[in-house]
Amino acid sequence: MGKYILKRLLLIIPTLFFILLINFIVVQIAPGGPVEQAIQQAEAFQGMGVGTGAESAPQGPYQGAIGLSPEMVEKIKAQYGFDKPAHERFWVMLKSYLSLDFGTSFFKDKPVTQLLWEKLPVSLSLGLWSTLLIYMISIPLGIHKARKHGSFSDKSTSLLIAVGYAVPSFVFAVLLIVFFAGGSYFQWFPLQGLVSENFHELSWSAKVADYFWHMALPLFAMVIGGFAGLTYLTKYSFMEELSRQYVLAARSKGLSESRVLYGHVFRNAMLIVIASLPEALVGIFFVGNLFIEVIFNLDGLALLGFEAITQRDYPVIFGTLFLFTLLGLILRLVSDVLYQVIDPRINFESQEMK
């Protein structure tokens, strides 16, 4: 197993390289980059009488910069690092990434590492707590539905799961704000922010209470909107295992239903659930978090990445891309390790040798 883990860790390097390369090429082709935006802003200021006073249009790739001198255009390009060829800029970026230096944001005037560090607590809070709650609810509920398939409890919970599966989490978030955060009915929970303004003045126990008070509605919206799929996956995975011959053999030996379920079925049925963990975590961290962060005004990594894409803030785009890609690759490796922990019969090293 050690050789397999080392091999997978080494494969992360070329994987990150090619992902960054592909995305670097894509953003170079995409129109409306930071240079074009800066030129448009300069033209707007010049149109109001705040420009350079130059009247000749520059010759080159930025023909829309009418009224700006070629020197001004070159200065703007140098400001954003576009005075160098694309391959040189990519090489400089890779060398900086080796020291975890992701550059400086074009529009926020802060190092990308500082921005990521500032936004990380919000995304970690939403992602980790919601994932933990979703798995704590979905797995026991899915097992119960598999054991009681066709019963009243199975059918009654299916209605709740169907609603959770069909309605997006941001819709639940809006409803929670309307009913419980000062909308049209009650004001039991805060509308925005991760903690209160006087958080640093509170005692330790009061800080914990304040933190979860602010997290209650966002987490509830994410859990309601995200537990349905995992519950169905768990249910049908256990139902498939419960119909196999080894389960009938175990029952014929007089083993209790609990012993059969948790001693034989559990680790086989959980393999497919564990396999979906990396994609679920990355999806919750980015896609699921984005709408929740916008609705509850939580300034996290998902919102930072979305703003960077709309503004063409390339250092922030590549910094968040690097972080989420690395996280996804590591989680995939962790899921493979858990595979073998749950079922020792799985040996990745022997499979690679075949």
The rounded distance, in Å, linking the Cα atoms of 248 and 225 is 36
Q: Give Dmax over CA atoms of the chain in angstroms.
A: 93
Q: What residue segments make up the domains of the chain, in order of their start?
A: 32-99, 113-353
Residue at 288: amino acid letter = G
Query: What does the alpha-carbon distance between residue 165 and residue 53 come to, in Å, rounded to a whole number?
Result: 59
What the block records as the tokens of 106 is 């074009």
| Under 8 Å between Cβ of 318 and 20 | yes
Is residue 134 within 8 A of residue 127, CB to CB? The reply is no
Decide which of 3.30.420.40, 3.90.700.10, 2.40.30.20, 1.10.3720.10 is the CATH code for 113-353.
1.10.3720.10
Q: Could you tell me the pTM of the whole model?
A: 0.72
What Å distances lie between residue 76 and 70, 200, 227, 327, CA to CA? 10, 42, 48, 34
- Among residues 259, 256, 239, the alpha carbon closest in space to that of 146 is found at 239
Contact between residue 314 and residue 37 where contact means Cβ atoms under 8 Å apart: no
Burial of 80 (0-12, 13-18, 19+ CB in 10 A): middle
Gap between the Cα atoms of 319 and 92, Å rounded? 14
* Per-residue b or e along 305-327, where b marks 16 or more CB atoms closer than 10 Å to that residue's CB: bbbbbebbbbbbbbbbbbbbbeb
| Inter-residue contact 298 to 292 (CB < 8 Å) | yes
Contact between 27 and 90 under an 8 Å Cβ cutoff? The reply is no
Which pLDDT score is estimated for 69?
A: 63
pLDDT in tens, the chain (354 residues): 677 778 888 888 888 888 888 888 877 776 666 666 666 666 665 555 544 444 444 444 444 444 556 666 666 666 556 667 778 888 888 888 888 888 888 778 788 888 888 888 888 888 888 888 888 888 889 888 888 888 888 888 888 888 877 877 888 888 888 888 776 677 788 877 777 878 788 888 888 888 888 888 888 888 887 788 888 888 888 888 888 888 888 888 887 878 888 777 877 777 777 777 766 666 666 656 777 888 888 888 888 888 888 777 888 888 888 888 888 788 778 777 777 776 666 665 555 545
- Say how far apart CA 150 and CA 154 lie, in whole Å: 6
Query: Phi, psi (5° rounding) for residue 135?
Result: -70, -35
- Cβ-contact 300, 289 below 8 angstroms: yes
The tokens for 77 are 């390009």
- Tell me which residue of 91, 93, 73 sits closest to 83, measured CA to CA: 73
CA torsion through residues 209, 215, 221, 223, sign: negative
pLDDT at residue 61 in the model = 45
Residues in the chain: 354
Give the pLDDT confidence score for residue 31 in this predicted structure: 64
pLDDT of residue 226: 77
DSSP 185-241: S-B-S-SS-SS-TTGGGS-HHHHHHHHHHHHHHHHHHHHHHHHHHHHHHHHHHHHHH
Nearest-angstrom CA–CA distance, 191 and 181: 5
**Number of C-beta neighbours around residue 284 at 10 A:** 23
Mutual orientation of helices 204-242 and 169-180 as an angle, nearest 10°?
140
